[in-house]
Structure 1
Amino acid sequence: MDVVATPRRTPHARAPRVDAQRNRERIVAAARDLFTEVGRQAPIDEVARRAGIGNATVYRHFPDRDALVLAVVHSVLKRAADRAEAAMAQAEEPFEALSRFVLAAADEQIGATCVMLDGAYDPGDPEVKVLEERLNGLLDTMLARARRAGLLRPGIDRDDIFVGVAQLTRPLPDLVTVRRGSRRYLQLFLDGLRAPGYTALPVEN
């Protein structure tokens, strides 16, 4: 009787894939922070140093700077949308959901990152389009709910939110916004969005 040998399974067979994914996430996180601080021309050597890995590992995951920039944009948009979903699920009332999202978007550096990387990636990238549509849809839902509840001043749209977050969270060394922290100004921004008690917005031609 012939005995068919069964391939032996090693307990660490999946380890390389897990390690590779972890390294990729560390690279993207390090690049996001560095690009936000100094711009998209930040040295790849510094990205590797902050991620705690070698340059060769960075280039194994991302063959060039453009690929790394695009991965950062994908990550920021996805994480921001995840935070938007969480805000709507956790908040007890519509404006609270919007407030949670604004603060979470600041934590994710969505506005600052996109401002610093503007023009550095293809906005027509299929995954970027899908991620943007998801995020925009979630934010539009939050705004519509707050508007129906009478908690949002008239004329506010998603662009107001993104511009406000971007302006209040982008790095501004040596200015009072850094010394006091952006959350103070984000809260002032949120108070300006709340109804009633607002001043009519100017009409732009």
Structure 2
Amino acid sequence: MTTVAAPRRRADATRNRARIVAAAREAFVDHGAMAPLDEIARRAGVGNATLYRNFADRRTLIQQVTLAVIERVMAHAHAATAEEPDSFAAVSRFVHAAADERIGALCSLLSGTTDPNDPELVDARAELKQVTEDLITRAQDDGLLRSDIGAGDVLVAVSQLTRPLPGTGCLDLDRFVHRHLQLLLDGLRTVAPSPLPGRAVTLEDLTHRV
């Protein structure tokens, strides 16, 4: 019985940890780095004791969420590179996928809440930098992406477009992100622009309350 129960307990613990990280990511996007840990436990469907057993404090949880987001963004980059024969389509797919990870909304997690010199974070950021640069360079070498931009331009733009704007908590701006990302991408390409998703944004849209 022991040999059966132990692996099951380990599997349950792994699932709980993953649920906590996913719930924390959502809570940090919604409420910032100081989102209540009780709320995170509730979203994850676990007790407070389980949360603290996996993560000793808020700083540790934030670090793991940051690593998880970086890993997900890198996975999107690798998938785009492997599955899109058109190098500009690969860049476009990566940009939209990175936006869906809400990396702009999570940027504040890195400010004053994590150790920038932590080896895991240093390695993860270096790998993200490399895979993003590879995507950009490939499209530039193919003549599909303008040569006067770098990977940093792309990540900054995605971060800015997915960062909540001050004083706009009452506005539903998320629905415009992919449209504006496509406008950005069309400004970066060297050939005919692609169709924009959605519809034109009106002034009435900007005053819509959630």
**TM-score bucket (shorter structure):** 0.7 to 0.9
Match of 2:144 among 151, 156, 166: 151
Q: Does 1:47 align with 2:47?
A: no
Counterpart in the other structure of 1:119: 112
Task: Tell me which residue corresponds to 1:177.
Answer: 173
Match of 1:62 in 2: 55
Q: Does 1:34 align with 2:34?
A: no
Equivalent residue, structure 2, for 1:140: 133
Which whole-Å CA distance do the structure 2 matches of 1:127 and 1:10 have between them?
A: 33
Q: Tell whether the 8 Å contact from 2:66 to 2:109 is kept in structure 1 after alignment.
A: no
Please identify the structure whose Cα radius of gyration is greater.
1
Alignment of 1:66-77 (within 5 A): 66-77=59-70
Give the whole-Å Cα distance in 1 for the aligned partners of 2:173 and 2:35.
Answer: 23
Show the counterpart of 2:187: 192
Aligned Cα root-mean-square deviation (Å): 1.8
Q: How does 1:95-134 map to 2 (within 5 A)?
A: 95-134=88-127
Partner AA of 1:32 in structure 2: R
* Separation in structure 1 between the aligned mates of residue 173 and residue 148 of structure 2, nearest angstrom: 27
2:15 paired with 1:22: yes
Report the CA distance between 1:192 and its aligned residue.
1.6
Q: Cα distance 1:134–1:144, how it changes in 2: closer, same or farther (>3 A)? A: same
- Unaligned ranges ≥5, structure 1: 1-7, 199-205
On the 8 A contact 2:33/2:108 being kept in 1, the answer is no
Q: TM-score, normalised by structure 1?
A: 0.86
TM-score (norm 2): 0.84
In structure 1, what is the Cα distance between the partners aligned to 2:30 and 2:88? 31
The worse-fitting range, judged by mean Cα deviation, of 33-42 and 164-173 is 164-173
Q: Percent identity?
A: 49
TM-aligned CA deviation for residue 110 of structure 1:
2.5
Whole-angstrom CA distance in 2 between matches of 1:95 and 1:82: 18
Q: Distance in 2 between matches of 1:38 and 1:9?
A: 42
Residue 5 of structure 1: aligned partner:
none
- Contact 1:77/1:132 (8 A) holds in 2: yes
Equivalent-residue separation in structure 1 for 2:36 and 2:186 (angstroms): 39
> Match of 1:40, SS?
coil
Separation of aligned partners in 2, 1:197 and 1:154? 16
Q: Letter of the aligned partner of 1:175 in structure 2?
A: L
